[in-house]
Amino acid sequence: MSSHLIKNVTIVNEGKIFIGDIRIKNGLIDEVGTLEASATDVLIDGTGKYLLPGVIDGQVHFREPGLTHKADLYTESKAAVAGGVTSFIDMPNTLPNVLNMDTLNEKYQIAAEKSLANFGFFLGVNGDNLDEVIKLDTSRLLAVSDDGLYFTKKGNLLADNPDTLEKLFAHCKAFIAIHAEKEQIIEANEHLFKEKYGEEVPVKYHPVIRSVDACYQASKQAIELANKHNARLHILHLTTEAETHLFRNDIPLKEKKITTEVSVQHLWFSDKDYERLGTLIKWNPAIKSEEDKEGLLQALIDDRIDIITTDHAPHAIEEKQKPYFQSMSGAPMIQHSLNVMLEFFRQGKISLEKIVEKMCHNPATLYGIERRGFIREGYHADLVLVDMNADWKVNKENILYKCGWSPLEGTTFHSKVTHTFVNGHLVFENGAFHEEKRGMPLHRMSH
């Protein structure tokens, strides 16, 4: 059985940066230290490169089953691995919607055949299946979520239905992740803009329609209700500076009952970009102001925000390039999320240790994922090697998404993922893929 030995590499892990060697054997991190090569070791020279734990993306939409004209578990997991993402958790708004355990288990089966990265899935919850979810044993579920389900049936956002939300918080023991926007506020705003512009509302008004207030009111109420019932609540993809003040940073993540995340696009883009990119950066919740963007980064650094996700949500380009109301919300990001964060490091805005904490360590802690997210002996060898001095430009030729486009096209990044290991298997090596193995399923650690 061969093993890999990465020599003389700069390791970023658990708040420290140090130079060392690491041996990968039988799918695990075998040893970290100053190591001698053995006859069976395949050597990788890590000189000048950085080694991070593989990124765990806690929110993606890979579109399979049912929407595979946009994306599928093979294509998007391949793009993920090329970007240093070794595990992902996928949302329930595939077709059929994931509203029961059979549908959930079917997704695990498809992924076991197709995904190059490790895979986990949210169980969907909304007004239709609330009573069944409450009765379920949810102890091994990563989480239940309503994210994306309102696209198939309006009025199913939990944050919009305080009674439903309260019933869920009062009776469901699962980890509950919700999309927090108030549809009533959004619909009133839509109505005003429709009166003025008809169907041709300029996309720059998207953050005025899906407003700060719509987000803030929803998050505030959800947190109050969760606190009342001592429920475990995670607010997905925070987008406003105002909301960051609803979260604590005076206790460790493990003790928090209320957590949140930011998606990379809300740190990277602001409302200044609507003129250049139009509906390509139409997301729900919306990309907001420069002040919101800066406030989110600040809250990430001071630990009010716990993890970084992408909300990777590919659509065919024809589905995006439509008038405001018809253009679908969401865009693909997973291939470039680590690159985006490493640009902020280059600009002196965030440390490497903090990036690793928010993209690797904390998602594992938050979702109870066993033996991943850290560089520790005996842990699964999910690892990423990064060259910090390699300029490259995002273009159609190097985009791996099935949809074939990215809102980052034309952007130059200054760092590059060179190697990605998933469960000790070198899946990605200098632009080439070794696809003979599949990722492993993720479940919540049983206690």
**Number of helical H runs and strand E runs in the chain:** 15, 20
218 close to 242: Cβ distance less than 8 angstroms? no
- Which part of the chain contacts Zn ion (CB under 5 A), choosing from 270-278, 310-318, 345-353, 438-446? 310-318
Exposure of 296 by Cβ count < 10 A (0-12 exposed, 13-18 middle, 19+ buried)? buried
CB nearer to Zn ion: give 147 or 343: 147
CB nearer to Zn ion: give 50 or 269: 269
CB nearer to Zn ion: give 147 or 181: 147
Q: With binding defined as CB under 5 A, does residue 311 bind Zn ion?
A: yes
Q: How far is the CB of 41 from Zn ion (least distance, A)?
A: 41
Nearest by Cα to 178 from 209, 149, 214: 149
CB nearer to Zn ion: give 308 or 440: 308
207 close to 287: Cβ distance less than 8 angstroms? yes
Q: How far is the CB of 236 from Zn ion (least distance, A)?
A: 6
Exposure of 260 by Cβ count < 10 A (0-12 exposed, 13-18 middle, 19+ buried)? buried
Tally of CB atoms within 10 A around 405: 18
* CA separation for the pair 261, 305 (Å, rounded): 5
Helix (H) or strand (E) holding 297: helix 290-301
Q: How far is the CB of 63 from Zn ion (least distance, A)?
A: 12
- Which part of the chain contacts Zn ion (CB under 5 A), choosing from 62-70, 127-135, 304-312, 349-357? 304-312
Is residue 438 classed as helix, strand or coil in its secondary structure? coil
CB nearer to Zn ion: give 44 or 359: 359
Minimal CB distance residue for Zn ion = 311
* CA distances from residue 39 to 9, 296, 390 in whole angstroms, order as listed: 20, 49, 32
155 close to 183: Cβ distance less than 8 angstroms? yes
- Which part of the chain contacts Zn ion (CB under 5 A), choosing from 127-135, 249-257, 303-311, 439-447? 303-311
Residue showing tokens 């066993």: 370
Q: How far is the CB of 147 from Zn ion (least distance, A)?
A: 4
CB nearer to Zn ion: give 5 or 60: 60
Nearest by Cα to 384 from 77, 9, 3: 9
Q: How far is the CB of 331 from Zn ion (least distance, A)?
A: 11
Which 143-182 residues touch Zn ion, going by CB under 5 A? 147
Q: How far is the CB of 5 from Zn ion (least distance, A)?
A: 39
- Which part of the chain contacts Zn ion (CB under 5 A), choosing from 21-29, 97-105, 162-170, 307-315? 307-315
CB nearer to Zn ion: give 98 or 356: 98
Q: How far is the CB of 311 from Zn ion (least distance, A)?
A: 4
Number of residues lying near Zn ion (CB under 5 A): 2
Q: How far is the CB of 347 from Zn ion (least distance, A)?
A: 27
Binding letters toward Zn ion, positions 118-147, x by CB under 5 A = -----------------------------x
Is residue 308 classed as helix, strand or coil in its secondary structure? strand
Q: How far is the CB of 313 from Zn ion (least distance, A)?
A: 6
CB nearer to Zn ion: give 72 or 311: 311
Tally of CB atoms within 10 A around 199: 10
* CA separation for the pair 336, 344 (Å, rounded): 13
CB nearer to Zn ion: give 32 or 308: 308
- Which part of the chain contacts Zn ion (CB under 5 A), choosing from 27-35, 67-75, 199-207, 311-319? 311-319
- Which part of the chain contacts Zn ion (CB under 5 A), choosing from 218-226, 244-252, 259-267, 308-316? 308-316
CB nearer to Zn ion: give 72 or 147: 147
Q: How far is the CB of 60 from Zn ion (least distance, A)?
A: 8
Helix then strand then coil, in percent of the chain rounded to 5, is 35, 20, 45
Which 312-351 residues touch Zn ion, going by CB under 5 A? none
CB nearer to Zn ion: give 261 or 311: 311
* CA separation for the pair 318, 328 (Å, rounded): 10
The string of DSSP letters for 217-268 reads HHHHHHHHHHHHHT--EEE-S---HHHHTTS--SS-GGG-SEEEEEEHHHHH
Q: How far is the CB of 218 from Zn ion (least distance, A)?
A: 15
Q: Which residues bind Zn ion (CB under 5 A)?
A: 147, 311
